[in-house]
Amino acid sequence: MAGRFPPWRVFATVPQQVRRLAIVVVVLVAALIAARALLVPPTFGDRGHYRAASVDSIEKLPIRYAGHDACAMCHPQEVQTKAASFHRGVACEVCHGPAVQHTTNPVEVKPPAPRDRTFCPRCHAFNPARPTGFPQIDPVQHNPMRPCFTCHNPHDPTPPHPPESCAACHGEIARTKAVSPHFQLACTECHQADPRHVQSPRQWLPTKPASREFCGRCHATTADSPREIPRVELTTHGERYVCWQCHYPHHPEAR
Amino acid sequence: MASDLPRAGGGPPRPGSDLDRRAFVGACLAAAAPVLLTAAQGSTTSAQAPADTAAAGTPPRYDRRNHNYGMGVDVDKCIGCGRCAAACKEENNVPRDPHHFRTWVERYAIRADGECAVDSPNGGIDGFPAPVGEENVLRAFFVPKLCNHCANAPCVQVCPVGATFTTEDGVVLVDEDYCIGCRYCIQACPYGARFLHPETHTAQKCTFCYHRVVQGMVPACVEVCPTGARIFGEVQRPASPLTRFRRFNALQVLKPHLNTEPKVFYANLDGQVR
């Protein structure tokens, strides 16, 4: 039957409304495919619902920070000094800035070395939000007007003279104590610090009063101390606690 | 003419009609042939494209499917120096004004009455002045923020044109040539990690320094963090700094209730942080 009815004449045999509809459908499908080919950018959908070529262009963006290993290749002395110091975790480019241009052109492009007193306090100025134990100073009081590197080598920042007074490192406590009723007490009154504490603060921790009787030397009713010092009866006053669990010794009875 | 045709319900052709089912299907295929050929051609050209780009651009040793990147942030180590935010602006050419950041540092100050004050002057780049009413502050700390590169990213879902996407190595990127600047993703991001670039008028965000990472380097913020508060690595790989960080710390993510599955993990995070 198909033999005597060639396929290209099939349109002549279907009703006119079907022919018109078929033309419309074909045109619509063709327009859709053409629009898709034109509007969907190349490489879209290759690896997901995005243009794969954009990943390649993002990959080729210029690098500005060369990385610590790049510095170590030419400056082994500085890197070695730093590796044994408190700044061992601080990459060179933290202070010297992005150095890719310097690695490609070491003679003409020299990375800056910050020398003014505003740079180091970015990390080391006292801020109560900084973690406890991080070395902090008050830039106003700490050897004013002198550039940091006169005493501290930035690659090995341990000062040549270890801090002589406790306030050099524990400024927050010293300033709090200075306005408290305990202002006359020296730190050593309550804390005994090994001399090595100034070099390795965390390894040689100072002592803290461990008994109620220690505070009682001044504050017990039976204590032999000036009369204006407030007294408590040690046997009945908070007998289950050590004093500093309720009273902050550096600012007792503050609020 | 209509009388010559088979009935609409199918069935055997009427006597006298020359059209059977086989002829009809053959004729339809013949008519559709040009269209089908075009479509097939289109799909083959697009299939060849990744092979070409891979040969020309990326080094063959880097295979995206072998990686899944994430970041760890140790809040206890952050000193709020803002070097990360400054380095990010250098590395990625982010506008230097104090409104556009790909990463920034926030200071949380929790007062004795429980009220929580958050500030981030210039993203922390210029340091943090002492908080007002410092004597009432119970505790204060810094929290570095950045794009969380969510495994289930709301910004990717809402993009109407597919200009923001998650790569095979788990990094959420923006196709700046294709972004139409509708800001829908900026609205969708629950972490405020996106902004509209004032000149290109396209969305921008942290890329984990994708151009560095594919070269085997760490992101610029991780490179310059002086205290090691930021850790970059692979989420699944056993030997990775991030895996070590995740093994030894109790971790939290930001806004876990939103089910975005962030890949930036915070250690020692205070419950007040949002």
Q: Is A1 on the interface with B (CB under 8 A)?
A: yes
Locus of tokens 């056993």: B238
Q: Is B114 on the interface with A (CB under 8 A)?
A: no
Looking at beta carbons, which residues of chain B come within 8 Å of A26? Answer: 31-32, 35
The pLDDT value recorded for residue B129 is 86
Contact assessment for residue A153 and residue A79, using Cβ atoms and an 8 Å cutoff: no
Q: Is B133 on the interface with A (CB under 8 A)?
A: no
The pLDDT value recorded for residue B132 is 61
More confident residue, B105 or A16: B105
Contact assessment for residue B36 and residue A33, using Cβ atoms and an 8 Å cutoff: no
| 81-110 in chain B: CB under 8 A from chain A | 81-83, 87, 90-92, 107-109
The pLDDT value recorded for residue B107 is 94
Count of alpha carbons within 13 angstroms of residue B67, beta-carbon side: 20
Contact assessment for residue A151 and residue A160, using Cβ atoms and an 8 Å cutoff: yes
Sketch the domain layout of chain A as residue ranges: 7-59, 63-111+151-160, 171-245
The residue type of B72 is G
Q: Is A106 on the interface with B (CB under 8 A)?
A: no
**Residue of chain B whose Cα is closest to the Cα of A132:** B76
Contact assessment for residue A138 and residue A168, using Cβ atoms and an 8 Å cutoff: no
Q: Is B23 on the interface with A (CB under 8 A)?
A: yes
In this predicted structure, the answer to whether residue A254 has a pLDDT above a threshold of 60 is no
The pLDDT value recorded for residue A34 is 97
CB atoms within 10 A of CB A95: 21
The pLDDT value recorded for residue A179 is 87
Measured between alpha carbons, how far is A49 from B174 in angstroms, rounded to an integer?
12
For chain A, how long is the longest CA-to-CA vector? 131
Locus of tokens 């009388």: B3
Measured between alpha carbons, how far is A133 from A197 in angstroms, rounded to an integer?
13
The residue type of B212 is R
Measured between alpha carbons, how far is B174 from B90 in angstroms, rounded to an integer?
19
**Residue of chain B whose Cα is closest to the Cα of A23:** B31
| 66-95 in chain A: CB under 8 A from chain B | 67-68, 87, 89-91, 93-94
Does B23 contact A1 at a Cβ distance shorter than 8 Å? yes
Instruction: Give the tens place of pLDDT for each residue, A182-239.
Output: 999 999 999 998 888 887 787 889 999 988 899 999 999 999 888 889 999 988 888 8
In this structure, are strands B164-166 and B230-234 parallel, antiparallel, or unpaired?
unpaired
Measured between alpha carbons, how far is B227 from B215 in angstroms, rounded to an integer?
24
CB atoms within 10 A of CB B115: 11
Q: Is B162 on the interface with A (CB under 8 A)?
A: yes
Give me the phi and psi of B225, to 5 degrees please. -65, 115
The pLDDT value recorded for residue A10 is 76
Instruction: Give the tens place of pLDDT for each residue, A110-145.
Output: 999 999 899 999 999 988 899 988 888 888 878 788
The pLDDT value recorded for residue B218 is 96
In 3D space, the residue among B205, B246, B202 whose CA is nearest the CA of residue B68 turns out to be B246
Q: Is A113 on the interface with B (CB under 8 A)?
A: no
In 3D space, the residue among B33, B37, B5 whose CA is nearest the CA of residue A11 turns out to be B5
In 3D space, the residue among B55, B131, B68 whose CA is nearest the CA of residue A56 turns out to be B55
What the block records as the tokens of B163 is 């200009």
CB atoms within 10 A of CB A37: 15
In 3D space, the residue among A198, A146, A145, A196 whose CA is nearest the CA of residue A167 turns out to be A198
How confident is the prediction along chain B (274 residues), in pLDDT tens digits per residue?
A: 444 444 444 444 454 556 677 777 777 777 777 666 665 554 444 444 444 444 454 456 789 999 999 999 999 999 999 999 999 999 999 999 999 999 999 999 998 888 899 999 999 999 998 766 667 888 899 999 999 999 999 999 999 999 999 999 999 999 999 999 999 999 999 999 999 999 999 999 999 999 999 999 999 999 999 999 999 999 989 999 999 999 999 999 999 999 999 999 999 999 889 8
Task: Determine the distance from the C-alpha atom of residue A187 to the mean position of all C-alpha atoms in its chain, rounded to a whole number.
Answer: 31
Give me the phi and psi of A220, to 5 degrees please. -75, 155
More confident residue, A1 or B22: B22
Does B107 contact A67 at a Cβ distance shorter than 8 Å? no
pTM of the full structure? 0.71
Looking at beta carbons, which residues of chain B come within 8 Å of A87? Answer: 226
**Residue of chain B whose Cα is closest to the Cα of A16:** B2
Measured between alpha carbons, how far is B79 from A226 in angstroms, rounded to an integer?
43
Contact assessment for residue A162 and residue A199, using Cβ atoms and an 8 Å cutoff: yes
Q: Is B21 on the interface with A (CB under 8 A)?
A: no
**Residue A184: exposure state from Cβ atoms within 10 A (0-12, 13-18, ≥19):** exposed
Give me the interface pTM, i.e. the ipTM: 0.75
Contact assessment for residue B46 and residue A45, using Cβ atoms and an 8 Å cutoff: yes
Q: Which of A15, A45, A63 sits opposite B2 (nearest CB)?
A: A15
The pLDDT value recorded for residue B10 is 44
Helices (H), chain B: 21-56, 83-92, 154-158, 184-188, 210-213, 220-224, 241-248
Q: Which of A68, A89, A131 sits opposite B228 (nearest CB)?
A: A89
Q: Is A52 on the interface with B (CB under 8 A)?
A: yes
Instruction: Give the tens place of pLDDT for each residue, A26-53.
Output: 999 999 999 999 999 999 999 999 999 9
What integer is the mean pLDDT of A233-250? 88
Whole-Å CA distances, B73 to B25, B267, B268: 64, 6, 9
Instruction: Give the tens place of pLDDT for each residue, A151-181.
Output: 899 999 987 776 677 887 787 788 888 888 8
Q: How many CB pairs under 8 A join A and B?
A: 189
Measured between alpha carbons, how far is B146 from A90 in angstroms, rounded to an integer?
21
What the block records as the tokens of B113 is 């009455």
Angle of the A52-59 helix axis to the B21-56 helix axis, nearest 10: 0
In this structure, are strands B203-204 and B230-234 parallel, antiparallel, or unpaired?
unpaired
